[in-house]
Amino acid sequence: MSIQRRINLSFVVIAVPFAVNVGIYIWNNGRASRSADSLRRSIRRELLFADVREEITVYQKQMEVMSQSFAGASAPASPADIAQFEQRLRTTSTQAHEIEQLADPGMRADFTAFAKSFDELSASWLVFYRNIGVNPSVAIKELAMRSEPLSQKVIQEMLPRVLAEDRARVNTATQAYFSDNAFSQRVNLAIFGISTVIAMLVGGLVLRYLVRGLNKLKEGAEQVGHRRLDFRIDLKTNDELGELASPLRHARHGLARLHDHDALGLLARGRRHPSKDSRCARRLPSPGPSPGRAPAEPRPSPGRAWAARPLAGRCGSAKMRAMSAYEIVRPVWRSFRAQWLARAAAHVKKGGHAAVEHEDGAIDMLLGVDAGGKVTELGLWAILAIEQQRWRRIKGGPAAGLATCRVRPKFAGSVLDWCDRDSIHEGATRVIHLDCLDCGACCHDANVVLDEVDFDRWREAGRKDLLGRAYLKRKDGTITLRFAPSGRCQNLGADNKCGIYVIRPDNCSAFVVGSEACLAAREDTLHLRDGLEAPPDDGG
């Protein structure tokens, strides 16, 4: 499953509880709205009932006063008084019908009956009010036959019953409102908590998966950067992380193969390593260039303990000479006892290399690092020359920040031999001049291991003849270049130029001018210890 699908699935899983939460919120909100509407109508009915009851009480008292004064000489009511009384009755009737509309379905019949009875009572009171002082017999008949029975029915029976039912409804609506509101809050809070936990759990699992995968890729990249090729990237997934891990594995395998073929066996002479006591010169297993051709321009960077630049041509083709002659600033080796570690660190910080000898006979390399915290290029090739890959940075003490590597006992004599070689030179660095066209030492008696990449390059260039037995030899499943009986590479011309420079093997191009491998090849082949100073430019 790809990372995109994992993330999409995570969003779906997170969205489902939130969708449920929204649905429940809408449902609870509907319940709360209905409860709130019922409470609002109940409160409105309560207020209207108070007004209607007060008005009915006033009307009843007014009718009693008028009936008691009826025996005397009562003047008829003026049209304005009749209109005002009629308007008051109509207002009260409107309020009664509004109460009917606000009533719940279960109690609407009682409120309808109450409003209808009040309308009949209002009509009877209006007939009495209009005929008093004008038609006494009609007024007395209306009061006795209709007004009194209706008023008793409305005021003493219906109004108290409806009012009691309404108050009960108000109490029920109030309790339902607060109950529904509390239930809604609890449900919303619970769903929100569950949704949050699920979201955090799913997000945490996805984040953990991504972080673990990225950390493994980071660790793998750091291991490759430190040339530690004996590790495995344990990341077997069918997603983007797996796709990133695959080329990193291929790179590790390629570098490991190149390291095995190149740094630890490319130019191995098969000679025995000297002992620590002899400290004699030895041929280090190391990669070598194809001299005699225009070598690739070195790429020094800030913080490196070496620098190289082409020198001006001296003879023949000035352009070719300029490309093959280099001025190398290489670190000078010094040996120090362990108690003088501070002095060793000072020497390395000035650009040199140091061998720190312990009382038990163990030896540690002390090497400089560049601005990025990596071992300098010549320091790295010194580590590879003693068939090692691992190094570490010192965290504390006078050598804090520098790189160190424990030297195996069989290489102790070689490292101390480097210190003896450089003991005649002052300072932490030394400038030497090398010309690959004048040298060609690394193209003699070398063990150039070949790979399928080299064979494919030769086939594409139309040089299938290089694949024959005349140029190749096989031993124990390994294919190497076949050298002439004299020890000279068959592709090396008399002018020290490589005849297949453009399509040369990868192990021939992986070479650093001025490295310990280069100096050892010159010493073994040309008997030149540490190289010679370039002669002055004659302008040729």
Mean pLDDT of the chain, nearest integer: 76
Whether 455 and 316 share a structural domain: yes
- Answer yes or no: are the C-beta atoms of 351 and 375 closer than 8 Å: no
268 falls within a domain: no
| Higher pLDDT among residues 147 and 321, named by residue | 147
- For residue 368, the model assigns a pLDDT of 93
Rounded to 10 degrees, the C-alpha dihedral 338/341/347/353 comes to 50
- What are 333-363's pLDDT values in tens digits? 999 999 999 999 999 999 999 999 999 989 9
Say if 42 falls within a structural domain: yes
Of 183, 210, 239, the one marking the end of a domain is 183
According to the model, what pLDDT value does residue 59 have? Answer: 82
Identify the domain boundary among 183, 203, 225.
183
The pTM of the full predicted model, rounded to 2 decimals, is 0.44
Give the H/E segment covering residue 293: none
pLDDT band at 21 (very low <50, low <70, confident <90, very high): confident
Tell me if 375 sits within 8 A of 366, measured CB to CB: no
Is the pLDDT reported for residue 269 higher than 80? no
Q: In the numeric block, which tokens belong to residue 52? A: 């209607």
Residues 515, 370 share a domain: yes
Among 223, 222, 226, 218, smallest CA distance to 245 is for: 218
520: its two tokens? 């050892």
Q: Total domain count for the chain?
A: 2
Least confident of 66-70, 90-94, 136-140: 66-70
**What's residue 255's pLDDT?**
61
Count CA atoms within 13 Å of residue 502 on its CB side.
5
Over 70: is that where the pLDDT of 253 sits?
A: no
pLDDT at position 349: 94
pLDDT reported for residue 432: 87
pLDDT at 290 over 50: no
Note whether residue 89 is domain-resident. yes
Q: Answer left, alpha or beta for residue 527, where phi above 0 means left and psi between -120 and 50 means alpha.
A: left
Instruction: Report if residue 132 sits inside a domain.
Output: yes
Cβ neighbors of 104 (< 8 A, separation 6 or more) are 38, 41, 169
396 CA to centre of own chain: 32
Q: Which of 262-266, 316-320, 450-454 has the lowest mean pLDDT?
A: 316-320
pLDDT per residue as tens digits for the range 372-391: 888 988 998 899 888 888 89
Distance CA 307, CA 475 (A): 38
Out of 66-80, 91-105, 391-405, 489-503, pick the least confident: 66-80
CATH number, domain with residue 69: 1.20.120
Highest mean pLDDT among 260-264, 296-300, 303-307, 525-529: 525-529
The answer to whether residue 46 is domain-embedded is yes
Nearest to 256 by CA among 290, 233, 282, 281: 233
**Residues 324, 179 within the same domain:** no
Q: Which residues contact 490 (CB under 8 A, 6 or more apart)?
A: 470, 471, 481, 482, 483, 484
C-beta atoms surrounding 467 within 10 Å: 15
225 domain residue, yes or no:
no
- pLDDT tens for each residue of 174-204: 777 778 778 777 877 887 788 788 888 888 8
Name the token pair of 376.
């300098």
- Per-residue confidence band for 254, with pLDDT thresholds at 50, 70 and 90: low
* pLDDT tens-digit map of 430-458: 998 888 888 888 888 888 888 888 888 89
Q: What percent of the chain has pLDDT over 90?
A: 13
Handedness of CA 11, 14, 19, 20 (dihedral sign): positive
Average pLDDT value for residue range 511-516: 83
Q: Is residue 266 part of a domain?
A: no
Concatenated DSSP letters of 101-164: HHS-GGGHHHHHHHHHHHHHHHHHHHHHHHHTTT-HHHHHHHIIIIIHHHHIIIIIIIHHHHHH
Tell me what pLDDT residue 357 has. 94
Which H helix or E strand runs over 533? none
Q: State residue 211's pLDDT score.
A: 82
pLDDT at 415 over 90: yes
Strand partners, 261: none
pLDDT for residue 402: 95
Domain that holds residue 351: 307-526
Indicate whether 286 belongs to any domain. no
* Residue 359 DSSP symbol: T
Query: What's the token pair of residue 414?
Result: 């070689």
Distance, CA of 369 to CA of 539 (rounded, Å): 38
> What's the helix, strand, coil split of the chain in %, to 5?
60, 10, 30
User: Among 115-124, 226-235, 268-277, 459-468, whose mean pLDDT is lowest?
Assistant: 268-277
Query: Over 60: is that where the pLDDT of 309 sits?
Result: no
296 pLDDT above the threshold of 50? no
pLDDT at 274: 35
Q: What is the mean pLDDT of residues 239-260?
A: 64
Give kind and range of the element (H or E) at residue 464: none
Average pLDDT over residues 408-414: 90
Place 306 in a pLDDT band, splitting at 50, 70 and 90. Answer: very low
Alpha helical stretches, state H, 440-484 = 452-460
Q: Taking the alpha carbons of 485, 491, 492, 493 in that order, is the dihedral positive or negative?
A: positive
Tens digit of each residue's pLDDT (9 = 90 or more) over 48-64: 878 888 888 888 888 77
Non-local (6+) Cβ contacts of 298 within 8 A are: 308, 326, 512, 513
- Collapse the DSSP code of 525 into the 3-class scheme (helix H, G, I; strand E, B; otherwise coil) and give the result: helix
Q: Where among 132, 158, 183 does a domain terminate? A: 183
